[in-house]
Amino acid sequence: MTRKSPSPYIQILGGGLAGWSAAAILAEQFSGTAAIHIDGAQEDTPAESAAYAHMILGGESILMQHIGMTPADLITLGRGGFWLGTCFEKWGAKGRNVYHAPGEALPVKDGLSAHQILRRLSVQEGKDGLFTDLCLPLAFQARMAAAGKFSPPSADRQSPRSLLRPGVALDGSALTAVMRDKAMASGVRVAAGMEDEPLLIVDCRPQEKAKDIDCRQALGFDRYVTLRLEGAMPHPPHDSIRPLDNGWMTILPLQGGALITLYYHSSHWTDAQAKQAAYDALPESAAAIITSGPIYPGRMERPWQGNSVHLGVGAAQLGSAMGAEVTLLSHQLETLITLLPGGKGDDMPSKSAEYNRRVAAHFDHIRDFLHLPFVRNGLTGPYWEQAKKQAIAPDLHRRLGQFERRGLLVMIDDDPFEKHSWLEMMTGLGIIPALYDHVTDGVDLSAKMRDLGSMVVAFDQTIAAMPTHEDFLAQMAARMTG
Amino acid sequence: MSINANFVNNVVIVGGGTAGWMTAAALSHKFGNTGTQITLVESAEIGTVGVGEATLPHIRFFNAAMGIDETDLMARTQATFKLGIEFCGWGKEGESYIHPFGDYGEPHNGIAFHHLWTQQRLAGNAKRICEYSLPVMMAEANRYAMPDADPNALLSTFGYAYQFDASLYAAHLSQLSQKRGVKRVEGKITHAKRSADTGRISAVVLENGAQVEGDLFVDCSGFRGLLIEQELKTGYEDWSHYLPCNRALAVPCEPSGPIGPYTRATARKAGWQWRIPLQHRIGNGHVYCSDYISDDEAAAILIDNLEGPAIAEPRPLFFKTGRRNKLWNGNVVSIGLSGGFLEPLESTSIHLIQQGITALVELFPTQDSMEEDAAEYNAMMRLEFDRVRDFLVLHYVANQREGEKFWDDMRRMEWPASLKEKVAAFVHSGIIPSYDVGAFLPPSWLAVFVGQNIVPQAYDPRLDHLDSAAIASSMEERRRQIADAVNTLPVHMDFVRGHCPGAMVAEMVAEKIPSL
């Protein structure tokens, strides 16, 4: 029996970035033949605006692919820059900065990871702390981020720059209009109510309630304040997460300013105290509050039920740290288009079950990755001590246990983070494995250390020769206008 | 010399054979320079199972990691190349398909190939799905060459494994291991001794009264599970309600037909028969369920279906499918048949040995505490076994051999819930199981689904909004490219003779260690 699908009718509820992106991408997927209506197009809620303003897009993001703009154009539009990673300011042991900078993994020789060699050396020297000291210089992309330098990736596999995987970071507010224009140009109609029973309802409205899987307690926030800073300030190629006494703030540097979001728990701070803390932590005269309110980190257990699928912050939310909100939305959209129902009579339950499984796994991995610095950090004070005591999910428990025991990086299905991302985060936080891989007892440590040393020198020289991120952006802008 | 004396430094492997010597080879390669003592105890009086002659592509990486030269290994083990497994009669009687080591077709606009194929099939435009798979067409044409190193080349789109003489493989690994310092002890184990303090096994005692002491014991004693079961009573999760075949007869024969680059599994009255072509002989076996057929009838079926004269008496094997409740219990790690058995249908026996060894190396324990390592090991291996089990069960439950009691019962059996969901998702929506951890990737599931006539009823709806004629044309172009490429390749055995001709039997005999 042929199942040629009729032109589908899809109803999208809620505007904002999630709604308009879904509209634009679905219209494109159906080559303009679908009837896609958007209801509530004007509803760009403060909560959603705040969530997606802090925008980080990797080259593989479906949003990046469908926006149809070059990174340079996006950077201009959103006053942004290149993104090499996220700096967790002073979260590490001895007040060290910790970087999540997802470049490519170092090449592995003889099946032995560099960190195992370094752990063995630190045991041999009787200095546990040496492990962290020696690991950090090998994190090339993180070091570039820390140095405020930028150069694009190189195709030459001999160059350290071949390890780079930069994204772009920008004020995402301007993107809603871009996606709206794309959607409207593809025939998406703004229409209230439903004309017929839709094939699919895509509900992109934020939900003002706790989610089925509630992460407010574990991640220590249920309120947020967003501020905008104007004026000249440093523009490194990374965003930052700065700890405060009773919360933390994400800082997205922009050209001529920054976007700040402070997250805190209402049991620790009143709104007034939080706002005051934000002002205290920033150059007061330049900061202006955009919005504030409750936030519901967590996820729906079954965002797709029947013919209705929830997308965006109403379905899953983790705050703007590491660009998590945009990453979640991108993954939701990507998953949805590979599981689009085929028309009336198609088997929606199997698609919805698979969708729900995939987005839950993706969310859980990001939540675990984000939760890791909350449970293993060098921060002090009641708020942070309480954070360290929060229960952790079984997968994270397993990852932590194996890394702490022997530096083993456990692989789990559907993880968007590669092993070396976990490694950099764990070593950055000062987690030192009790053991090392026994195989390293049989290798020539001096030779291995010479190899690693040569690599570090090459990294040093490459970074030293790079322009600052600001200079790179200025040169890029000059080329664009010239 | 180890600077961390806490690591286990005395490992005893109980049992030779493929599992034992693979373990010895890997541990000696990884830990040979660390001061770790490795002893393998085996008895020439106890035979090894020695089947598991067909492998999966993963074994290449295992061998490479041990520094084993592929060409040399293939020559020593009379190996041929393997591009997949042909399943005959598993759908309907008379039908066959090949499960290849490689993908099908190419995606279009980000839409997976099987959706394109489904759309074109429903429109009457698609050929058999196997015609879009290079390794299947190579296997059907009996052609072989090594994959192209250029990842953009069509001839890079397949993987390969080996069909080899497992006893020769074990012999080769035995030589390697002993050169690397593994101590081989000849003797029959009568019992184990336990530490009064910890309850852990401290030594195995041989018939002659000698004791072999160790900190960690790897039980490769086969189905008996000398330590893991007979001593520790670990328990076994019986899966014979899912995989009821419980006996096999193995017999080699002389080749008479072409020695193709693939293994064959032919459905029989109450089980199936394997054919594994090596350079010098054909390995054959009949796996069956004794509830449905007598041993004599099973033997008759096997002998009647040999392509050439048998060169040995059929050797019986008895087994119960399932997995040990804990593959690592106390200071005993069970690898190979002692840990579990899922029957040889998809050549997973050696793969599971390999996975067990890899996990053991990663989790190599210290003397004071093994509980955490054991827990992680058991979690990893449980997942491997469970996923392989579902894949194997699929072959049985999806049969269409009506009127044969064994096969009728298999169709009607209670499926594992996890498998039921996978099949429903594929049929109704074209969703293929996909995971990062496990032996079988989406192309494998696709091969068996479609090969056994489980086809999607719907395809990605986005295809209806693309140019169907252009898709058909692109698929046809790919099919032609594959056919043309296959015609340029040498005949499999011509390639084998030029690349890795089997060693002379006299050489092999001279090199064999006495016990083998």
- pLDDT tens-digit series, residues B180-204: 999 999 999 999 999 998 899 999 9
Q: How many domains does chain A have?
A: 2
CA-to-CA dists, residue A89 to A247, A379, B139, B147, B425, angstroms = 13, 10, 58, 48, 45
The domain that contains A354 carries what CATH number?
Answer: 3.50.50.60
Nearest-CA distance B464 → chain A (Å) = 6
- The pair of structure tokens assigned to A125 is 């020297």
Identity of the amino acid at A64? M
Would A377 be classed as within a structural domain?
Answer: no
Q: Does residue A116 sit in the same domain as residue A74?
A: no
Q: Which of A280-284, B138-142, B152-156, B225-229 has the lowest mean pLDDT?
A: A280-284
Whether B1 has a pLDDT exceeding 80, the answer reads no
What is the pLDDT averaged over residues A132-155? 96
**DSSP states along B348-400:** HHHHHHHHHHHHHHHTPPBSS--HHHHHHHHHHHHHHHHHHHHHHHHHHHT--
pLDDT at position B513, please?
33
The whole-angstrom distance between B289's CA and the closest CA on chain A is 34
Per-residue pLDDT of B48-81, as tens digits, reads 655 558 899 999 999 998 889 999 999 999 999 9
Flag whether pLDDT at A200 surpasses 60.
yes
User: Above 80 in pLDDT, residue A47?
Assistant: no
Is B7's CB within 8 Å of A441's CB?
yes
Residue A344 has pLDDT above 60, yes or no: no
Angle at B157 between CA B156 and CA B163, to 5 degrees: 90
**A406 to chain B: closest CA residue:** B363
Q: In the listed set A347, A363, A379, which residue is the last one of a domain according to the structure? A: A363
CATH code assigned to B10-53+165-236+323-370? 3.50.50.60
Q: What is d(CA A329, CA A362) in angstroms, rounded to the nearest whole number?
A: 11
A341 contacts in chain B (CB < 8 Å): 461
Does A2 have pLDDT greater than 80? no
Residue A8 contacts residue A35 (beta carbons within 8 Å)? yes
Name A386's Cβ contacts closer than 8 Å, sequence gap at least 6.
A220
More confident position, B181 or B428:
B181
Which of the four pLDDT bands, split at 50, 70 and 90, describes residue B178? very high
Q: Give chain A positions within 8 Å (CB) of B464.
A: 4-5
Asked if A29's CB is within 8 angstroms of B362's CB, the reply is: no
In a domain, A105, yes or no: yes
pLDDT band at B33 (very low <50, low <70, confident <90, very high): confident
Q: How many CA atoms lie within 13 A of B432 on its CB side?
A: 21
Mean pLDDT, chain B, as a whole number?
91
Which chain A residue's Cα is nearest to B1?
A441
- State the pLDDT at residue B510: 42
Q: Where are the alpha helices (DSSP H) in A376-418?
A: 382-388, 394-406
A137 plus A75 within the same structural domain: no
Judging contacts by C-beta atoms under 8 Å, the chain B residues touching residue A353 are: 421, 425
Token digits of residue A421: 């991302």
Q: Do B34 and A8 touch (CB under 8 A)?
A: no
pLDDT computed for residue A196 by the predictor: 80
Amino acid B52: pLDDT = 54
B266-315 tens-digit pLDDT? 999 999 999 999 998 999 999 999 999 999 999 999 999 999 999 999 99
Angle CA(A227)–CA(A145)–CA(A251) in degrees, nearest 5? 10
| pLDDT tens by residue, A454-473 | 999 999 999 999 999 999 99
Domain that holds residue A445: 87-165+393-469
Mean pLDDT (whole number) for A166-184: 92
Mean pLDDT throughout B459-481?
93
pLDDT for res B514: 32
Q: Write down the pLDDT at residue B5.
A: 53
Answer yes or no: is A295 within a domain: yes
Task: Indicate if A141 and A178 belong to the same structural domain.
Answer: no
Is residue A148 over pLDDT 70? Answer: yes
pLDDT digits (tens, 9 = 90+) for B445-457: 999 999 999 999 8
Q: Token digits for A201?
A: 């309802």
Of B134 and A65, which is predicted with more confidence? Answer: B134
Q: List phi, psi (to 5°) of A382.
A: -55, -40
| The predicted structure's pLDDT at residue A3 | 45
Chain A residues close to B429, C-beta within 8 Å? 339, 342, 346-347, 350-351, 354
pLDDT the model gives residue B458: 86
What average pLDDT score do residues A399-427 get?
A: 94
ipTM of the complex: 0.89
**Which amino acid is present at B133?**
S
Q: Are residues A75 and A92 in the same domain?
A: no
**Together in a domain, A304 and A333:** yes
With respect to residue A419, please indicate whether it lies within any of the assigned structural domains: yes
In a domain, A385, yes or no: no
B269 has catalytic annotation: no
CA dihedral B25, B30, B36, B38 (to 10 degrees): -10
pLDDT of residue A4: 52
CA nearest B336: which of B325, B323, B349, B322?
B349
Q: What is the mean pLDDT of residues B488-499?
A: 94
pLDDT higher than threshold 90 for residue B512 = no
Secondary element (H or E) of residue B301: helix B295-304
Question: Is residue A196 domain-resident?
Answer: yes
- % pLDDT > 90, chain B: 78
Domain ranges for chain B: 10-53+165-236+323-370, 102-160+416-490, 247-318
* Alpha-carbon gap, residue B484 to B123, rounded angstroms: 26
**Does the pLDDT at position B116 exceed 90?**
yes
Instruction: With both helix axes pointing from N to C terminus, report the angle between A419-428 and A348-375 in degrees, rounded to the nearest 10.
Output: 20
Check residues B202 and A67 and name the one with the higher pLDDT.
B202
Q: Which residue of B has its CA nearest to A25?
A: B462
In this structure, the answer to whether residues A183 and A77 fall within a common structural domain is yes
The pLDDT of residue B2 is above 50:
no
Give the Å distances, CA to CA, from A403 to A419, A422, A423, B67, B169. Answer: 11, 10, 9, 28, 35
The 3 state secondary structure assigned to B463-485 is: HHHCCHHHHHHHHHHHHHHHHHH
What is the rounded average pLDDT for all residues in chain A? 91
Q: What is the pLDDT of residue B515?
A: 29
* CA end-to-end span of chain B: 32
Closest partner residue to A31 among B2, B366, B465, by Cβ? B465
Residue of B364, B437, B458 with shortest CB distance to A342: B458
Question: Do A303 and A329 share a domain, yes or no?
Answer: yes
Rounded to whole angstroms, the Cα distance separating A153 from A130 reads 30
Q: Name the band, by pLDDT with cuts 50, 70 and 90, for residue A481.
A: confident
A196 and A137 in a single domain? The answer is no
Within a domain: residue A379? no
- Res A181: pLDDT: 93
Cβ neighbours for A182, distance < 8 A, ≥ 6 positions apart: A20, A24, A27, A28, A66, A67, A68
pLDDT band at A302 (very low <50, low <70, confident <90, very high): very high
Share of chain A above pLDDT 70, in %: 96
pLDDT at A317: 97
Contacts of B421 in chain A (CB under 8 A): 353
Quick one: B429 exposed, middle or buried, by C-beta within 10 A (0-12, 13-18, 19+)?
buried
Q: Does residue A279 share a domain with residue A225?
A: yes
Tell me, yes or no, whether A158 and A199 share the same domain: no
Give bridge partners of residue A292 from the DSSP assignment: A225
Q: How far is B507 from chain A (nearest CA, A)?
A: 32
Residue B352 is which amino acid? Answer: L
- pLDDT value of position B511: 42
Question: Do residues A135 and A431 touch, judged by C-beta distance below 8 A?
Answer: no
A149 shares its domain with A112: yes
Q: Give the total residue count for chain B.
A: 516
Report, as an integer, the average pLDDT of B379-404.
94
Q: What is the DSSP letter of B229?
A: I
Query: Are residue A286 and residue A430 in the same domain, yes or no?
Result: no
What residues contact residue A472 under an 8 Å CB cut-off, 6+ apart?
A: A82, A150, A151, A466
Of residues B32, B123, B462, nearest to A30 (C-beta): B462
pLDDT for res A1: 36
Q: Is A292 within the bounds of a domain?
A: yes
Do the chains contact at B4 and A436, CB–CB below 8 Å? Answer: yes
Band (pLDDT 50/70/90 cuts) for residue B436 is confident
**Does the pLDDT at position B516 exceed 70?**
no
* A439 closest CB neighbour out of B31, B110, B437: B31
pLDDT band at A475 (very low <50, low <70, confident <90, very high): very high
